[in-house]
Chains A and B, each alone.
Chain A
Amino acid sequence: QSALTQPASVSGSPGQSITISCTGTSSDIGGYNYVSWYQQHPGKAPKLMIYDVSNRPSGVSNRFSGSKSGNTASLTISGLQAEDEADYYCSSYTSSSTGYVFGTGTKVTVL
């Protein structure tokens, strides 16, 4: 199972909005509304930010939002803050291995 495709890096200035894309296939992102997003700071465990495409867990800022169109999912961070600087990974259920697949990861830099 190949990893989902994400841009290697995305950057923005404080207060701006950025969007991270995550492209898969009809066997994963396109076939199910089971996309999730994770934030990982250096040396830390991943943290769930979005689940089931667009749902935010309790405690996650409403500056984070998710969407999906066809085989591509997106994570938008609005009002970018210094603390948002981290690596971000998408994930999806996949029928090709009856398991899960992660994205290649995107490093977000706050300028």
Chain B
Amino acid sequence: EVQLVESGGVVVQPGGSLRLSCAASGFTFDDYTMHWVRQAPGKGLEWVSLISWDGGSTYYADSVKGRFTISRDNSKNSLYLQMNSLRTEDTALYYCAKTGDTAYYFDYWGQGTLVTVSS
């Protein structure tokens, strides 16, 4: 059974930093591109970033480019999101999501970890 478990969400002040983690199990982690997707309270879904199976390619939404860094450790079946220069508009539930077998969709999602940016 595929499982994705996010952690690391806390309350942080504007301008602060945070690192989110996602522990994956139930599939061959290093076969798949992985994503972070976020959802602000009461709002819709927003794609944040992706990383290829080997970490060699990364892409970001314009809203986080230059502030967030996605990475992975295939030896630990783990995905990460380093978040710097946080803004109040980064407040959201952050989901880790697995790419589907034919690549261009998200077939499994974690339950999310809540990041609150507030003074």
Interface residues of A (CB under 8 A from B): 1, 3, 32, 34, 36, 38, 40, 45-48, 51-52, 57, 89, 91, 93, 97-105
Contacts and interface: CB of A to CB of B under 8 A. Distances in A.
21 contacts: A3-B44, A36-B104, A38-B106, A40-B45, A48-B100, A51-B100, A51-B102, A51-B104, A51-B107, A52-B104, A52-B105, A57-B107, A89-B44, A89-B45, A91-B47, A97-B62, A99-B47, A99-B49, A100-B35, A100-B50, A102-B37
B46 to A, nearest CB: 6
A38 B111 contact: no
B45 A102 contact: yes
Interface of B: 35, 37, 44-47, 49-50, 59-62, 95, 100, 102, 104-112
Nearest to B111: A45
Contacts of A91: 45, 47, 105-106
B41 to A, nearest CB: 12
Contacts, number: 66
B61 A38 contact: no
A49 to B, nearest CB: 10
Nearest to A46: B109
Nearest to A96: B62
B110 A45 contact: yes
A100 B60 CA distance: 9
A89 B104 CA distance: 15
Contact of A102 (B46, B50, B107, B112): B46
A97 B59 contact: yes
Contact of B104 (A32, A46, A47, A57): A32
Nearest to B101: A51
Contacts of A102: 37, 44-47
A38 B95 contact: no
Nearest to A40: B45
Contact of A45 (B44, B95, B105): B95
Contact of A99 (B59, B105, B107, B110): B59
B11 to A, nearest CB: 20
Given A36-B105, A91-B105, A45 B112 contact: yes
A100 B47 contact: yes
